[in-house]
């Protein structure tokens, strides 16, 4: 459910007609609905109330906008971060360092030092090598780093190969059958307080079964490790719950996910940690765009919009589907290809799609663009960095400026020897 609805034939974000935002900010622009964000944050949080001890860490990578993080901080979310940059954003939004989980396969020594200095709550270690390095750095600072060990459960998440993370051939975590030994060795290090296991098998999961299989394996490993006399008080179950991108698609509801977790983890006696991203932010945003022109095609017309793969990379990268709707549809539909202006064929949002009839100058949106949208944007083809707007009832504000090519150009230098 979201708060992007037609009123009087015009698509609104909450109480704000989208043409108002287009006129003032220009297009393309991401538009977020605060009410939708808050709702999703609460639905997920409330669903997990069936579990005894829960820690929620929003996956910042899915939408790191400061205003978005502020809303989630107020809803009691911690942060799952994968870089110092994401960590600084979480702290700037007021998320306590103690509620920050630092994930990622390539944390640098500088990032570890910074995270330790601010009191980062937990490091999710991706390897024995990383654990040894973190322990040394913490000890050199007179600190003890709190950590979990990320395991690779070798479970097929059944999602797109580029966003699968829990198969043995993926770079993430430590091999399942070596995890017990690594846990024992890392537990002996004075700079480390190893308190549990972590896993995350992939993103945009359409089914709960792979998660259940992975959690079940993790639970067995947890008991085995405890049997060896080591403490396991925290189990980080990651993120990955998918959302429908196509009208009519059915995905697991947070309550079903929570019921599955409750069943699998009954008797674990551990704090369960979660790193939801897309399920919180996916539906909270649209990418608002204007039709530049409609060009005749061999098979279907090409609807050329002013958004491109640099603004929304998901279709180009993962063949992802984003529903396309006219902001003021006239009723009839047409079959068309939707493309951006970038000079490569991967800049294609949809082929042979049945869409609202649109013409030059019309506004339209790509829906479900709140997760992995603006955060993956870049300036390829020397296009501007796409801006972001947040709506709250009848109010709205620009929450990230459009960064013009001139600003980016001003950061470039021609060396003396070329002048
Ligand atoms: N935790 C870890 C360790 C992760 O790597 C991720 C996502 C999450 C949590 C959050 O997963 P979520 O709940 O959002 O599924 N750019 C891709 C998605 C990449 C996801 C990477 N990791 C896309 O646009 O589909």
Q: What is the mean pLDDT of residues 17-41?
A: 98
Q: Which of 237, 265, 281 is the last residue of a domain?
A: 281
Q: Is residue 78 part of a domain?
A: yes
Question: For position 27, which CATH number holds?
Answer: 2.40.37.10
CB burial of 284-297 (b: ≥16 within 10 Å; e: otherwise) equals bbbbbbbbbebeee
Q: Per-residue pLDDT for 181 more than 90?
A: yes
Q: Per-residue pLDDT for 117 more than 90?
A: yes
276 and 302, same domain (yes or no): no
Neighbours of 163 (CB within 10 A): 18
Domain containing 355: what range?
Answer: 4-32+283-409
157 and 123, same domain (yes or no): yes
Q: Are 18 and 11 in contact (CB under 8 A)?
A: yes
pLDDT of res. 157: 86
Q: Is 318 within any annotated ligand binding site?
A: yes
pLDDT of res. 328: 98
Beta strand 324-326 with 363-366: parallel, antiparallel or unpaired?
A: antiparallel
pLDDT of res. 207: 96
Distance from C-alpha of 198 to C-alpha of 236, rounded to nearest angstrom: 4
Q: Per-residue pLDDT for 419 more than 90?
A: no
pLDDT of res. 198: 98
Can you read off the two tokens belonging to residue 109? 């020594």
255 and 184, same domain (yes or no): yes
| Cβ(103) – ligand 1 distance below 6 Å | yes
Query: Taking the alpha carbons of 12, 384, 71, 41 in that order, is the dihedral positive or negative?
Result: positive
Q: Is 245 within any annotated ligand binding site?
A: no
Q: Using a cut of 0.85, tell me whether the model's pTM lies above it.
A: yes
Q: Is residue 246 part of a domain?
A: yes
For ligand 1, atom 24, the nearest C-alpha belongs to: 372
Decide if 343 is catalytic.
Answer: yes
> Considering 247, 250, 298, 343, which one is annotated as catalytic?
343
Neighbours of 399 (CB within 10 A): 18
Q: Which of 248, 281, 314 is the last residue of a domain?
A: 281
Q: Is residue 419 part of a domain?
A: no
Q: Is 277 within any annotated ligand binding site?
A: yes
Q: Please write the tens of the pLDDT for every residue from 45-74.
A: 999 999 999 999 999 999 999 999 999 999
- Enumerate residues 6+ apart whose C-beta is below 8 A from 409: none
61 and 128, same domain (yes or no): yes
pLDDT of res. 232: 98
pLDDT band at 371 (very low <50, low <70, confident <90, very high): very high
Q: Please write the tens of the pLDDT for every residue from 331-370.
A: 999 999 999 999 999 999 999 999 999 999 999 999 999 9
Distance from C-alpha of 165 to C-alpha of 137, rounded to nearest angstrom: 28
Residue 341: exposure state from Cβ atoms within 10 A (0-12, 13-18, ≥19) = middle
Question: What size, in residues, is the chain?
Answer: 419
Mutation pick for ligand 1 pocket among 40, 44, 61 (CB with most ligand atoms within 8 Å): 61
pLDDT of res. 116: 98
Which has more confidence, 166 or 372?
A: 372
How many separate domains does the chain show?
2
Q: Are 265 and 51 in contact (CB under 8 A)?
A: yes
3-state SS assignment for residue 90: helix
pLDDT band at 168 (very low <50, low <70, confident <90, very high): confident
213 and 311, same domain (yes or no): no
pLDDT of res. 222: 98
Q: Per-residue pLDDT for 167 more than 90?
A: no
Q: Is residue 417 part of a domain?
A: no
Q: Is residue 305 part of a domain?
A: yes
Q: What is the mean pLDDT of residues 143-156?
A: 96
Adjacent-strand bridge partners of 366:
287, 324
Q: Is residue 416 part of a domain?
A: no
| Cβ(278) – ligand 1 distance below 6 Å | yes
| Cβ(240) – ligand 1 distance below 6 Å | yes
| Cβ(163) – ligand 1 distance below 6 Å | yes
Distance from C-alpha of 94 to C-alpha of 97, rounded to nearest angstrom: 9
Q: Per-residue pLDDT for 165 more than 90?
A: no
pLDDT of res. 169: 87
Adjacent-strand bridge partners of 152:
175
Helices of type H across 26-94: 34-47, 66-74, 84-92
Q: Round the average pLDDT of the chain to a whole number and report it.
A: 97
Cis, peptide link before residue 380, omega less than 30° from 0: no
pLDDT band at 81 (very low <50, low <70, confident <90, very high): very high
267 and 386, same domain (yes or no): no
Q: Is residue 197 part of a domain?
A: yes
Can you read off the two tokens belonging to residue 339? 């493309």
Rg of the chain (C-alpha set): 23
pLDDT of res. 1: 81
pLDDT band at 158 (very low <50, low <70, confident <90, very high): confident
236 and 374, same domain (yes or no): no
- Enumerate residues 6+ apart whose C-beta is below 8 A from 225: 180, 183, 184, 197, 232
pLDDT of res. 15: 98
Q: Is 402 within any annotated ligand binding site?
A: no
Q: Is residue 415 part of a domain?
A: no
Q: Which of 300, 307, 315 is nearest to 357 (CA)?
A: 300
Tell me the CA–centroid distance for residue 336 and ligand 1, in Å: 31
Distance from C-alpha of 96 to C-alpha of 380, rounded to nearest angstrom: 35
156 and 294, same domain (yes or no): no
137 and 56, same domain (yes or no): yes
The DSSP symbol for 60 reads G
Q: Which of 281, 316, 337 is the last residue of a domain?
A: 281
56 and 204, same domain (yes or no): yes
391 and 330, same domain (yes or no): yes
For ligand 1, atom 23, the nearest C-alpha belongs to: 372
66 and 163, same domain (yes or no): yes
pLDDT band at 161 (very low <50, low <70, confident <90, very high): confident
Question: For position 78, which CATH number holds?
Answer: 3.20.20.10
């Amino acid at each position: 459910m979201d708060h992007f609805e037609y009123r009087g034939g015009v698509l609104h974000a909450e109480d704000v007609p989208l043409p108002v935002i287009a006129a003032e900010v220009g297009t393309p622009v991401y538009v977020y609905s605060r009410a939708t964000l808050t709702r999703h944050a609460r639905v997920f949080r409330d669903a997990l109330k069936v579990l005894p001890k829960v820690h929620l860490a929003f996956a910042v990578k899915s939408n790191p906008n400061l205003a978005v993080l502020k809303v989630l901080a107020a809803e009691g979310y911690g942060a799952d971060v994968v870089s110092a940059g994401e960590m600084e954003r979480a702290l700037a939004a007021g998320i306590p360092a103690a509620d920050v989980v630092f994930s990622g396969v390539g944390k640098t020594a500088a990032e570890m030092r910074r995270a330790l200095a601010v009191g980062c709550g937990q490091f999710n270690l991706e390897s024995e090598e990383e654990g040894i390095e973190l322990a040394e750095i913490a000890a050199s600072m007179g600190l003890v780093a709190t950590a979990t060990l990320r395991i690779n459960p070798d479970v097929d998440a059944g999602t797109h190969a580029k966003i699968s993370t829990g198969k043995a051939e993926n770079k993430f975590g430590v091999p399942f059958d070596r995890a017990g030994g690594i846990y024992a060795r890392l537990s002996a290090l004075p700079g480390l307080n190893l308190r549990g296991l972590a896993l995350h098998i992939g993103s945009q999961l359409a089914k709960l079964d792979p998660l259940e299989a992975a959690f079940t394996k993790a639970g067995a490993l947890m008991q085995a490790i405890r049997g060896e006399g080591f403490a396991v008080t925290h189990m980080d179950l990651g993120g990955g719950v998918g959302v429908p991108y196509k009208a009519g698609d059915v995905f697991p509801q947070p309550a079903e996910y929570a019921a599955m977790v409750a069943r699998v983890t009954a008797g674990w006696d551990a704090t369960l940690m979660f790193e939801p991203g897309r399920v919180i932010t996916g539906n909270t945003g649209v990418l608002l765009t204007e039709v530049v022109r409609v060009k005749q095609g061999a098979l279907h017309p090409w609807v050329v919009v002013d958004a491109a793969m640099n603004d929304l990379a998901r279709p180009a990268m993962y063949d992802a589907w984003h529903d396309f709707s006219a902001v003021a549809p006239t009723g009839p539909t047409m079959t068309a290809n939707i493309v951006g202006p970038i000079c490569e064929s991967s800049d294609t949002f949809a082929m042979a799609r049945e869409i609202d009839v649109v013409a030059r100058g019309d506004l339209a949106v790509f829906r479900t663009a709140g997760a992995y949208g603006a955060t993956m944007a870049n300036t390829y083809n020397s296009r501007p960095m796409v801006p972001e707007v947040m709506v709250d009832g009848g109010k709205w504000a620009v929450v990230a400026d459009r960064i013009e090519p001139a600003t980016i150009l001003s950061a470039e230098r021609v060396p003396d020897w070329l002048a």
